[in-house]
Structure 1
Amino acid sequence: MSDSTEPVADLTATHIRRAHAGDAGALALAGAATFLETFAGILHGRDIVEHCRAQHAVEVYSAWLADPACASWLAETDRGDAPVGYAVVAPAKLPLADVSDDDLELKRIYLLSRFHGGGVGRELMRHAVAESRARGARRLLLGVYAGNARALAFYARNGFRQVGERSFQVGRNTYGDAILALHLHE
């Protein structure tokens, strides 16, 4: 222990930037960490591990980063650039009868819980919505675990409304998701 009276830096200070090809490893780490943190104790542990191994592999993020139809942002600490959250927007691939080419999907938006409540999630969402509008999207769609009350409340505060449901496979089990939409040009 130090006797120093020097002020301690705010460890929750972050910045958000557009992700680039070299960020696949950081996105994969943040993806697996935030998924584990969000769903440990809610979903079966074996399913979480299997899901993270497959869906949060570096190759998944590398493919998104290489695809000009996708956009990603990375939230990092101001102290050492540790990845703490991220968002990914991609062409919509959700089971809705009216999905069209002018819809985009918020594939992922996650943030470590110690950074909740400080505006970082809202800022990640702002980037995703601005990008979707700039691309001329009609709607920004997303799928969210129907039992994730905190996420559902966050999306509702950001103007999303439920437009459907889907089954979502995590490991060996299937869970219910709500499909939400934000209409971008009303």
Structure 2
Amino acid sequence: MSETQFRLRQCGPGDEQMLSLVGGASFLEAFADVLDAPDILAHFHKNHSPEMYEKYMAMPTGRVTVAEVPPGNVPVGYIICCEPDFPIETLPSDYELRRIYLLHRFQGLGIGKALMDRAIEYTRELGRKRLILGVYGKNHAAIRFYEKAGFTQIGERFFTVGSTTHHDAVMAREV
């Protein structure tokens, strides 16, 4: 597949089930060797339900974009951008890239960069000055991707999935 064989589309009502599917699959790919099955399922039902995606799309400054590939515009990744929700001080000029998910077999094709570029566009369109995100502290490939995109670590947060507590790096870049 060449770099140009995908499209980005802003999501709207009716896309919740598709986002739930891609979100759950991406989460399972990323954490199958990190979390126990019951914790993965609990996280999925809480954070990747169609209702959660509906909530993100309904936010006044929420933006959700999906990456689709041929044939048939099959979803393989997405971004969710919204108001920041971090345990560190944020500014009114901050905007959050809440999720950037892409199925592993579609990484390295330019889709991730295109999704990141779209998140930066949304940040600028809203007149914001800084894009921030949280990333699992042991996801070294994702951290390298973010650093290549101009992000640096500005803080950290801890979160619990099931019975285990995990560390996130909080990263930011000016836009």
SS in 2 for 1:21: coil
Structure 2 residue ranges without an equivalent (≥5): none
Instruction: Specify the structure having the higher radius of gyration (Cα).
Output: 1
- Decide whether the 8 Å contact of 2:65 with 2:79 is kept in 1: yes
TM-score, normalised on structure 1? 0.89
- Decide whether the 8 Å contact of 1:37 with 1:112 is kept in 2: yes
1:135 equivalent in alignment to 2:126: yes
Distance across 1 between alignment mates of 2:77 and 2:133: 17
- How many pairs does the alignment contain? 174
Q: Which deviations, in whole Å up to 9, do the C-alpha atoms of 1:128-151 show, x marking residues without a partner?
A: 001101111121111100000010
- Percent of aligned pairs sharing the same letter: 40
1:31 equivalent in alignment to 2:36: no
Structure-1 residue corresponding to 2:50:
58
What's the CA shift for 1:11? 9.4
* Aligned pairs for 1:32-181 within 5 A: 32-97=24-89, 99-181=90-172
Distance across 1 between alignment mates of 2:109 and 2:35: 27
Distance across 2 between alignment mates of 1:44 and 1:104: 32
What's the CA shift for 1:101? 2.0
Distance across 1 between alignment mates of 2:168 and 2:69: 31
**Which of 14-23 and 51-60 deviates more?**
14-23
SS in 2 for 1:131: helix
- Decide whether the 8 Å contact of 2:2 with 2:109 is kept in 1: no
Structure-2 residue corresponding to 1:4:
none
Q: Which deviations, in whole Å up to 9, do the C-alpha atoms of 1:96-123 show, x marking residues without a partner?
A: 12x0222111000010001000000000
TM-score, normalised on structure 2? 0.95
Structure 1 residue ranges without an equivalent (≥5): 1-9
- Decide whether the 8 Å contact of 1:88 with 1:109 is kept in 2: yes
Distance across 1 between alignment mates of 2:2 and 2:110: 15
